[in-house]
Structure 1
Amino acid sequence: MSIFDNIFHYIGQLYTDRLPYFPTNIRASLMIILFCVIAAIEIYIYILFKRIVKMREEKQIKYWKEHIGNVLANIIVYDETDNTAEIISHFYPRFKKIPLGNKIVNQIVVNEILLYRKNFTGKTAEVLSQLYRKLNLDKKTRKKIANRNWDIKIEGIREANEMEIVELASAIIKYTDDENALLRMEAQAAYIKLSAREPFHFLDRARERILDWHQVVLFEIITKNKKLTIPSFSKWLYSPNDTVVMLCLKLIEHFTQFDAEEELKRLLRHHNPKIVKKSVEIIGKLELANAESFMFEIYFDQSEEIKLEILNAFGRISSGQYADFLSSRIYSTDIKIKKEALYAIKRDPDNGKNKLREIYNQTTPENQALIKHVLDDRIKQE
């Protein structure tokens, strides 16, 4: 009998024949030890099982990813002289042999098609889109969008966006004002692309904030999409949502929408100083001379930051109507205000530099030094 047989025999006798004769505390300790040993063995077996399953899964993923990638690669190099229907009928049987009922394989097919669709245009993109529908993958995308979990919803929305499944726009619109910021952003970005008639309808119902980084994303999508029909964004400057107003102001600036003049003048008295500042900035860039009087009216009630923007706007417009006002600003106690006023005067193409020289002969040594600085064309305005 080996040493291991002796050990197992002893343990067996310990827990069967001798256990009842031990004191209570020793019996309890032995039972705890037995429980811990059994639990440790079960844990090791579970870990081993999970590793085997994971290895098989990784092997399966590697095989199917390579196989599906090869099929899709063949679509790309296929003769483009054939029409789309012929190409699909040629490759569809190959995809039908793939076990799409398997969740892992199904997701690999979706991911690979999305990857190729994102990187190719023309007939290849058209074939991939139609193949996606023919394999009923769009139905799974719809189910994902209706899922309770927000991360799965996002996955579905991204799929619909990439594959341009326009009929899902009506399902996506309800998430464009969701409490979850990530879901809201994905839904808004997708809706702009998928809604043919009213791509900006989500702005009408937006109550949640459009975060700054989200505004950057939407701005990129809107300005780079050549298929979009750009509306007059001034209609949303009445929105009670300040972030909607701010986004529309940026778009008005980018698309130089002069028809927003009246709304821009109204926003000069907005409760949000960021909106006031942006409105002044746009008035200056669009050189809206009719808005000068409105800026003058609010000037003395504003912060230094907005005052500087107003002076800059006066300089951009350079109508000459507020030349005396600009001249008076050089006697401000704020050095930044002085410099901005002097630069605004200089911007007058007809008489700016002459006006500064005239002021130079009548003002203080401190102001004369500033005027010299402003008149020096080698020094760029800060």
Structure 2
Amino acid sequence: MSIFNTLFNYIGQIYTDRLPYFPTNIRVSLLIILFCVITAIELYLYMMVRRAVRSVRSKRMKYWDDYISVLLANMIVFDETDHPHEVVAHFYPKLKKIPLRSKVVNSILVEKILTYHKNFTGKTAEVLSLMYRKLSLDKKAKRKIKNRNWETKIEGIREANEMDLMEMAHLIVEYTDDENALLRMEAQAAYIKLSQSDPFHFLDRAQERILDWHQVVLFEIITKHKKLTIPSFSKWLYSSNDTVVMLCLKLVDHFMQFDAAQEVIKLLKHQNPKIVRKAVEIIGKLELEDAESFMFEIYFNHSEEIKLEILNALGKIASGNYSEFLSSRIYSADVKIKKEALYAIKIDPDHGEEKLRTIYLQTGQENQALIKHVLDDRIR
């Protein structure tokens, strides 16, 4: 112990009594060393305190996580009554004792309720919804939606969406055309589910792009929502937002909306080739004979991709009005065009294969090989 005292006294004397007598470069070096030592000690103390706080917080979260999980599990399996309100009344006093003012505890409870609600239906889901409102968590979700932070807004919107907070629809619609793509997607998905009067109103005001992956999400929500009243999507095919038009075309296609036929045909003259191609695809699926002349009119002005789609659509319509045109395409320099034209001719159930055999006798070896390929039902 005396050795350490002697050492500390020596170091102390260096920095108090002897420091002024050292050369300048040594004084600077000693001060730098002192600064580094003090910084290292402070950093070490900070790390120790931070680790201790994190440990306490972790233990606290573990305690409340287990406590809340047990309470909710008991509430779910509670079978002494079939009335959800009675179940809520029984467990409410216990859940009310939880310190919900704590952000950590509140987030754990909300996360647990949302998870259970997502995985259960019927009485259990109803009990969870009632308890969620009874604990005024819906009011906290409303405050989250109004929060300035976009991540907090998304958190509130997801809660409203999962817990069917219909009264939040008028707040959520404000963010359906937000500049932030993630917030915009969450708001649109939630609005479709929560709006009872006009779930597709967000399409009227959409100026921002609906990204491809976002369209997939919306398409799945719309097509799988059993209680959703499906409108005629033709009204949005005039939108100046190409991504809105594309989404609505996919929905027209899925729901086979023949009432949108004229609007789809008009899109053949659209400036966006992706929209033109999708319009041609729908025309083929709906077998719109009235559109044949319009497709023929634009055929030579487009890329190979759209030309192939037009040939496919003409084959599906199979009116016979453009059989000579299809036959002429087998003399194209593009092999893909040739094959698609031959398949389009073959689709005709009455005269398709007979027509191919006739052409076979009148054409060269290369085309004959393609015709054999097309006539072989084992190959596509």
Amino acid at match of 2:105: V
Which position in structure 2 is the counterpart of 1:74?
74
Aligned 1:166-315 pairs, distance under 5 A: 166-315=166-315
3-state SS of 2:269 partner: coil
Number of residue pairs matched by the alignment: 380
Q: CA deviation at 1:366?
A: 2.0
Distance 2:258 2:80 in 1: 46
Listed as ranges, the matches of 1:336-351 within 5 Å are 336-351=336-351
Q: Distance in 2 between the 1:80 and 1:374 partners? A: 69
- The residue aligned with 1:102 is 102
Q: Tell me the C-alpha RMSD between the 2 structures.
A: 1.3
Tell me which residue corresponds to 2:64: 64
| Structure 1 segments (4+ residues) deviating >3 Å | none
Provide TM-score, normalisation by structure 1: 0.97
Q: Distance in 1 between matches of 2:328 and 2:43?
A: 83
Alignment partners' CA distance in 1, 2:334 and 2:231: 42
Once the two structures are TM-superposed, the CA of residue 350 in structure 1 deviates from its matched residue by 1.0
Question: Are residue 356 (structure 1) and residue 341 (structure 2) matched?
Answer: no
Percent identity reads: 73
The alignment partner of 1:205 has SS state of coil
Secondary structure in structure 1 of the residue aligned to 2:301: coil
Return the letter of the residue paired with 2:311. Answer: L
Higher deviation after alignment, 308-317 or 23-32: 23-32
* Residue 48 (structure 1) shift: 0.3
Could you report, residue by residue, the CA deviation over 1:245-303 in whole angstroms, capped at 9, with x for unpaired residues? 11111111111111110011100000000000000001001111111111111111111
Kept in 1, the 8 Å contact 2:81–2:87? The answer is no
**Structure-2 separation of matches of 1:365 and 1:20:** 104
1:80 CA drift (Å) = 6.9
**Separation (CA, whole Å) in 2 of partners of 1:372 and 1:20:** 103
Cα deviations across residues 199-251 of structure 1 (Å, max 9, x unaligned)?
Answer: 11111111111111111111111111111111111111001111111111111
Q: Aligned partner of 1:199: which letter?
A: P
Q: What's the secondary structure of 2:208's corresponding residue?
A: coil
Matching of residues 321-336 of structure 1 within 5 Å: 321-336=321-336
TM-score when scaled to structure 2? 0.97
Counterparts of 1:285 and 1:115 in 2: how far apart (Å)? 41
* Alignment partner, residue 12 of structure 1: 12
Report the 3-state secondary structure (helix = DSSP H, G, I; strand = E; otherwise coil) of the residue aligned with 2:179. coil
Q: Which runs of 5+ in 2 are unaligned?
A: none
Show the counterpart of 2:377.
377
Distance in structure 2 (CA, Å) of the matches to 1:80 and 1:176 = 44
CA distance in 2 between counterparts of 1:338 and 1:17 reads 99
Contact 2:203 2:244 in 1 (8 A): yes
- Partners of 2:275 and 2:305 in 1: how far apart? 12
One-letter identity of the residue aligned with 1:40? A
Distance 1:33 1:362 in 2: 97
Q: Is the 8 A contact 1:80 1:123 kept in 2?
A: no
Residues 87 and 127 in structure 2, CA contact (< 8 A), matched pair in contact too = yes
Q: Give the whole-Å Cα distance in 2 for the aligned partners of 1:101 and 1:182.
A: 28
Consecutive unaligned residues of structure 1, counting only runs of 5 or more, are: none
Distance in 1, Cα, partners of 2:73 & 2:147: 32
CA distance in 2, matches of 1:327, 1:43: 82
